[in-house]
């Protein structure tokens, strides 16, 4: 594993953790049966800089950034999702 | 001379890969290596045997080693593969090198171990191997109080089942509700109620700080909310991909730590495929790689790898992850994204919510079915949803995942046809009720916007 791979893995781990923590805190507040999540007060920069900045960016831009960083899958072809059109089999290979 | 396919791993993916490859191409010599003495059983059933919902562990076995040998497979039980040499085309097991032409890696996962003091004490149990489960089950007969660490799907199943068995269960998790990484908070209350009715004490928002014991055996769990006495601890944290063997051979791993595969389950090395909990596959909406899915995903991936290793051409689609389970006595499920995950990812969505009944309202046994759908603003194509209640959660989650994959919209669901038959289906389908309510909300907000 290269240093870049390690960095990307770490970026994903940390960003997912703090984005999830923020989402859980926001959506769960006041909902019946929920309590406050445990807060170890770690990751000050992630909470105060990364999460608000990430949230401000539109989804297509986030998606493009992930693609640029090669954090999305390659070698895959998702089926087309065309609203209001029935699914049809893929065209035969040439 | 026939080609030799070696499959490493005897879980759902490995078993599927070996048996299907042999079936598709009977000329292949297929050898399966597994470190365990058993094969073809359902580890997902283990919590329910502990909970006495299923009478005995033997019921979880679906086939035997002898049956696979009769089908022409070369089975190497209790044989750990310690090395893959791609230059020579060999694997090493029991200090012997064995050659292969094609390789399928299905080495599965290991459970995350808690990084706290006392994590090596006896009495910490991980649910995976059926023989270990049988021994643990005997020990449970002499126990009164256990702690379950981690409100993951397995944690919820273990806590609920051990409560059902009559044990006092402390259920510890840092999150503010159980399954908070998957389930939305509006479902927390019924799930918590159901677990508590089974004798589970929820210790949420609580951090695990360590384990302490006497004579090398765990006796207490230290948490941010105090100490909990216990006879045993069941650790149910995250699944970690068992990718070290493949990685050491030069197979590329991705941002989740899982093996990177393409849509044919091919790894970065020629003639090497991988499948199951050790690989990462893209989510259909975001194309972000994910892993640690269900047994049915593992089986389907193993099947895809088998077809391709056996000379056919078979592609696996990005996943929309239908899921479902029984939490206590309450059935929950969903597909793709819930609101919590969509919010964390920053994916925009509109919500459509509704409640219906599973059978005709007057028919005995009818249960309320709550449906929440998430759709893309604008196109209103489905991107996720959650369903909870009693009957029919699984079927709706499966259907919605497929519908979303094919681009179905809230309008499609609102006007869908459905079965009306009093014992099995109500006049109004709960998914359609939710979609109709969502469309009404969208129309209202558009009208307000236009004004």
CB contact under 8 A, B188 and A32: yes
Q: Are B53 and B161 in contact (CB under 8 A)?
A: yes
Interatomic CA distance for residues A38 and B204, integer angstroms: 8
Percent of the residues in chain B that have a pLDDT greater than 70, as a whole number = 100
pLDDT higher than threshold 50 for residue B403? yes
Which of B241, B255, B412 would best serve as a mutation to test chain A binding (most A beta carbons within 10 A)?
B255
Closest to B313 measured CA to CA, from A80, A21, A90: A90
CATH code that applies to domain B322-450: 3.50.50.60
pLDDT higher than threshold 80 for residue A28? yes
pLDDT higher than threshold 80 for residue B362? yes
Give the pLDDT mean for B355-369: 96
Does the predicted TM-score (pTM) go above 0.90?
yes
Q: Are B315 and B29 in contact (CB under 8 A)?
A: no
List C-alpha distances in Å: B313 to B15, B282, B306, B344, B403.
Answer: 20, 20, 10, 37, 25
Confidence of residue B218 (pLDDT cuts 50, 70, 90): very high
Chain B nearest-CA residue for A82 = B407
Give the pLDDT mean for B387-406: 96
Neighbouring CB atoms inside 10 A of A89's CB total 5
Q: What is the pLDDT of residue A87?
A: 47
CB contact under 8 A, B287 and A72: yes
Q: What is the pLDDT of residue A90?
A: 56
pLDDT in tens, B152-196: 999 999 999 999 999 999 999 999 999 999 999 999 999 999 999
Strands B272-274 and B102-105: parallel
Q: What is the pLDDT of residue B402?
A: 95
Q: What is the pLDDT of residue B14?
A: 98
Confidence of residue B451 (pLDDT cuts 50, 70, 90): confident
Q: What is the pLDDT of residue B360?
A: 95
Of A27, A40, A80, the CB nearest to B184: A27
Query: Exposure pattern of A22-60 as b/e (b: 16+ CB <10 Å)?
Result: bbbeebbeeeebbeebbeeeeeeebeeebbeebeeeeee
Q: What is the pLDDT of residue B5?
A: 98
Q: What is the pLDDT of residue A47?
A: 96
Q: What is the pLDDT of residue B447?
A: 83
Confidence of residue B446 (pLDDT cuts 50, 70, 90): confident
Q: Cβ contacts (< 8 Å) between A33 and chain B: which residues?
A: 177, 185, 188-189, 191-193
Is residue B143 classed exposed, middle or buried when 0-12, 13-18 and 19+ CB atoms within 10 A define those classes?
A: middle
A5 reaches B (C-beta below 8 A): yes
Of B255, B282, B407, the CB nearest to A81: B407
Q: Cβ contacts (< 8 Å) between B181 and chain A: which residues?
A: 20
CB contact under 8 A, A76 and B282: yes
| Phi, psi (degrees; rounded to nearest 5) at B93 | -145, 135
A83 reaches B (C-beta below 8 A): yes
Q: Cβ contacts (< 8 Å) between B288 and chain A: which residues?
A: 66, 71-73
A31 reaches B (C-beta below 8 A): yes
What are the domain boundaries of chain B? 4-37+77-108+239-309, 124-235, 322-450
Closest to A36 measured CA to CA, from B184, B206, B190: B206
Interatomic CA distance for residues B9 and B33, integer angstroms: 6
CB contact under 8 A, A84 and B412: yes
B106 catalytic? Reply is no
pLDDT higher than threshold 80 for residue B449? no
Give me the CATH topology for the region B124-235. Answer: FAD/NAD(P)-binding domain (3.50.50)
Strands B289-290 and B279-282: antiparallel
Q: Are B131 and B271 in contact (CB under 8 A)?
A: no
- The interaxial angle of helices B188-197 and B153-164, nearest 10 deg, is 30
Q: What is the pLDDT of residue A92?
A: 66
Provide the mean pLDDT of chain B. Answer: 96
Q: Cβ contacts (< 8 Å) between B205 and chain A: which residues?
A: 35-38
Interatomic CA distance for residues B306 and B16, integer angstroms: 7
Provide the shortest C-alpha distance from residue A72 to chain B (in Å): 5
Do B4-37+77-108+239-309 and B124-235 agree at the fold level? yes
Interatomic CA distance for residues A87 and B332, integer angstroms: 29
Chain-centroid distance of CA B327 in Å reads 14
Beta strands in B191-238 (DSSP E): 200-203, 208-214, 217-223, 226-229, 232-235
Of B177, B407, B411, the CB nearest to A33: B177
List C-alpha distances in Å: B141 to B121, B135, B234.
Answer: 20, 11, 15
Interatomic CA distance for residues B245 and B247, integer angstroms: 6
Architecture of the CATH domain B4-37+77-108+239-309:
3-Layer(bba) Sandwich (3.50)
What are the domain boundaries of chain A? 45-70
Task: Provide Rg for chain B, Cα atoms.
Answer: 24
Confidence of residue B288 (pLDDT cuts 50, 70, 90): very high
pLDDT higher than threshold 60 for residue A88? no
A-B interface: how many C-beta pairs under 8 angstroms? 147
């Amino acid at each position: 594993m290269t240093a870049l791979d390690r960095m990307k893995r770490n970026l994903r781990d940390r960003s997912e953790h703090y984005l999830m923590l923020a989402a859980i805190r926001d959506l769960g507040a006041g909902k019946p049966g929920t309590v406050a999540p445990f807060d170890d007060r770690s990751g000050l920069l992630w909470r105060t800089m990364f999460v608000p900045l990430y949230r401000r960016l539109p989804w297509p831009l986030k998606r493009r950034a992930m693609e640029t960083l090669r954090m999305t899958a390659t070698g895959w072809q998702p089926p087309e999702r065309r609203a209001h059109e029935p699914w049809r089999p893929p065209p035969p290979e040439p | 001379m026939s080609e030799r396919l070696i499959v490493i791993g005897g879980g759902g993916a490995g078993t599927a890969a070996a048996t299907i490859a042999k079936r598709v191409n009977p000329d292949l010599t297929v050898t399966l290596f597994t470190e365990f003495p058993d094969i073809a059983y359902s580890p997902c059933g283990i919590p329910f045997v502990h909970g006495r919902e299923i009478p005995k562990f033997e019921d979880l076995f679906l086939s035997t080693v002898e049956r696979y040998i009769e089908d022409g497979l070369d089975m190497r039980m209790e044989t750990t593969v310690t090395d893959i040499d791609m230059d020579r085309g060999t694997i090493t097991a029991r200090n012997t090198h064995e050659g292969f032409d094609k390789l399928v890696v299905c080495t599965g996962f290991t459970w995350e171990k808690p990084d706290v003091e006392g994590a090596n004490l006896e009495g910490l149990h991980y649910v995976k191997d059926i023989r270990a489960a049988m021994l643990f089950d005997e020990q449970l007969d002499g126990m009164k109080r256990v702690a379950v660490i981690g409100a993951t799907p397995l944690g919820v199943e273990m806590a609920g089942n051990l409560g059902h068995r009559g044990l006092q269960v402390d259920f510890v998790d840092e999150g503010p509700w159980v399954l908070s990484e998957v389930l939305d908070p509006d479902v927390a209350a019924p799930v918590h109620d159901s677990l508590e009715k089974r004798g589970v004490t929820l210790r949420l928002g609580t951090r695990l700080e360590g384990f302490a014991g006497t004579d090398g055996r765990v006796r207490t769990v230290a948490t941010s909310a105090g100490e909990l006495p216990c006879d045993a601890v069941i650790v149910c944290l995250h699944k970690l991909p068992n990718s070290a063997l493949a990685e050491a051979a030069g197979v590329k791993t991705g941002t989740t730590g899982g093996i990177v595969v393409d849509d044919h389950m091919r790894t970065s090395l020629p003639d090497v495929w991988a499948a199951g909990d050790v690989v990462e596959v893209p989510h259909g909406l975001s194309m972000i790689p994910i892993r640690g899915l269900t047994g049915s995903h593992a089986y389907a991936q193993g099947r895809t790898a088998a077809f391709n290793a056996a000379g056919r051409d078979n592609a696996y689609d990005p996943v929309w992850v239908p899921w479902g389970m029984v939490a206590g006595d309450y059935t929950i499920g969903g597909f793709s994204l819930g609101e919590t995950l969509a919010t964390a990812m920053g994916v925009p969505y509109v919500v459509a919510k509704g409640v219906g009944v599973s059978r005709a309202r007057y028919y005995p046994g009818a249960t309320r079915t709550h449906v929440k759908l998430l759709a893309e603003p604008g196109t209103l194509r489905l991107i996720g949803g959650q369903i909870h209640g009693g009957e029919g959660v699984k079927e709706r989650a499966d259907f919605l995942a497929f519908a979303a994959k094919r681009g179905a919209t809230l309008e499609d669901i609102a006007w869908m046809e459905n079965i009306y038959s009093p014992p099995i289906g109500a006049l109004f389908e709960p998914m359609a009720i939710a979609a109709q309510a969502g469309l009404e909300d969208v129309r209202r907000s558009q009208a307000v916007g236009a004004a």
